Amino acid sequence: MAPCKQGLGQFESGSRMSNPDKGINVTFWGVRGSTPVPGPDTARYGGNTPCVEVRAGDSIFILDAGTGIQAFGRNYRTKTDKPVKLHLFLTHTHWDHIQGLPFFQLAYDPRNEIHIVGPKREGTALLDCLERQMLPPNFPVPFSLLQGVKSVTELSSGDSLQVGDATIHVAALNHPNESMGFRIEYGDRSLAYCLDHEHGGVDDIHPGVETLAKGADMLVFDAAYTDEEYPSFKGWGHSTWQEGYKTARELDVRILALAGFNPGVVDADLDLIKAEVDALDGETVIATEGSSMAL
Ligand SMILES: [Zn+2]
């Protein structure tokens, strides 16, 4: 998908200039939850399932492998044919967070060095979860042909990982079958990624979210619903943009990026949410496919 001019303009309005040597750059490639929803009603904000590209110095981090990861791969290849080294962090293995992997062309190139990191859970290894979605007769190409994938590593809540000059912290979130959020720290910048996650009670911020997002330059938050819609979906593992806003303000987050929209949410709905958050204090953006932001 071509970069969204609207999103680029929106994101370039950041209130603090980035330090190019010590900054984090973020690009959204998929902002939908549950299932891709391409079509004219979702063309402006985008219809792909979750994928976020984070650049921190020479390191490339990809957060989730929804269908948006295909657009990342195509974009990367338009700029260079050199081998790529990247870390792919998976919040969990619900289909919408891994379904782009079988179509991620960079993963088939043996010259590449792709390290997959995801949650450790009892019973089923992360590698097994990834292999299973590519088993016949549901899919003709086995995971073993993803020869650019050089490692699959499991992490648990509370673990941290050093990649280059960046540090990544992980914490469990509130989601059926468990989801894991990430905080990427680089220089004096930080980004917290909390998809998929359902908020708790009133004024009750989940400890995992608090650990990851406190004082972050950006929080990417699960805004599947509005507060008005939420009662019909309570217990489904997703939150609302209003809960994201409260969380961001409470935790002194500089920029809140709303993402993970429910499939029924169309561009016109997101325009209404954008108008509401624009009228509020603080900086809140609607994550938009192809849009980039320097933190
Ligand atoms: Zn999920």
Q: From the CA of 92, how far away is ligand 1's center (Å)?
A: 7
Q: Is 3 helix (H, G, I), strand (E, B) or coil?
A: coil
Structural domain 5-294, CATH architecture: 4-Layer Sandwich (3.60)
Q: From the CA of 22, how far away is ligand 1's center (Å)?
A: 32
Non-local (6+) Cβ contacts of 83 within 8 A are 109, 111, 112, 113
Give yes or no for a cis peptide into 227 (omega within 30° of 0).
no
Q: Is 44 helix (H, G, I), strand (E, B) or coil?
A: coil
**Beta strand 113-119 pairing with 189-194:** unpaired
- For position 156, what pLDDT does the model report? 96
- For position 203, what pLDDT does the model report? 64
Q: From the CA of 52, how far away is ligand 1's center (Å)?
A: 16
Neighbours of 117 (CB within 10 A): 22
pLDDT tens figures, 14-43:
334 444 567 999 999 999 999 999 999 999
Q: From the CA of 88, how far away is ligand 1's center (Å)?
A: 17
The closest alpha carbon to 248, from 233, 235, 259, belongs to 259
Q: From the CA of 178, how far away is ligand 1's center (Å)?
A: 8
Q: From the CA of 288, how far away is ligand 1's center (Å)?
A: 20
Q: Residues 148, 80, 168, CA angle at the centre, nearest 5°?
A: 55
Non-local (6+) Cβ contacts of 68 within 8 A are 28, 29, 30, 31, 46, 48, 49, 50, 51, 52, 100, 289
Q: From the CA of 222, how far away is ligand 1's center (Å)?
A: 10
- For position 204, what pLDDT does the model report? 82
Q: From the CA of 175, how far away is ligand 1's center (Å)?
A: 7
Non-local (6+) Cβ contacts of 56 within 8 A are 24, 25, 164, 165, 166, 184, 186, 189
- For position 102, what pLDDT does the model report? 98
Question: How far from the centroid of its chain's Cα atoms is residue 284's Cα?
Answer: 16
pLDDT tens figures, 149-159:
999 999 999 99
Non-local (6+) Cβ contacts of 235 within 8 A are 198
Q: Give me the residue spans of the domains in the chain.
A: 5-294
Q: Give the dihedral sign, CA 15/20/24/27.
A: positive
Low-confidence ranges of the chain (pLDDT < 70): 1-21, 201-203
Q: From the CA of 93, how far away is ligand 1's center (Å)?
A: 7
Instruction: For the sheet with 113-119, list strands across it.
Output: 149-155, 113-119, 85-89, 59-63, 51-56, 24-30, 292-294
Q: From the CA of 173, how far away is ligand 1's center (Å)?
A: 11
Q: From the CA of 197, how far away is ligand 1's center (Å)?
A: 8
Amino acid, res. 147: Q
- For position 62, what pLDDT does the model report? 98
User: CB–CB of 291/26 below 8 Å?
Assistant: no
Q: From the CA of 81, how far away is ligand 1's center (Å)?
A: 33
Mean pLDDT of the chain: 92
User: CB–CB of 101/71 below 8 Å?
Assistant: no
Q: How many whole angstroms separate alpha carbon 99 and alpha carbon 101? A: 6
Q: From the CA of 16, how far away is ligand 1's center (Å)?
A: 33
Amino acid, res. 157: S
Q: From the CA of 44, how far away is ligand 1's center (Å)?
A: 24
Q: Does the predicted model carry a pTM greater than 0.85?
A: yes
Q: From the CA of 239, how far away is ligand 1's center (Å)?
A: 12
Q: From the CA of 154, how far away is ligand 1's center (Å)?
A: 17
Non-local (6+) Cβ contacts of 86 within 8 A are 60, 61, 62, 106, 112, 113, 114, 115
Q: From the CA of 174, how far away is ligand 1's center (Å)?
A: 10
Q: E strands, 57-148, where?
A: 59-63, 85-89, 113-119
Q: How many whole angstroms separate alpha carbon 261 and alpha carbon 223? A: 6
Q: From the CA of 31, how far away is ligand 1's center (Å)?
A: 13
Q: From the CA of 221, how far away is ligand 1's center (Å)?
A: 13
Q: From the CA of 280, how far away is ligand 1's center (Å)?
A: 29
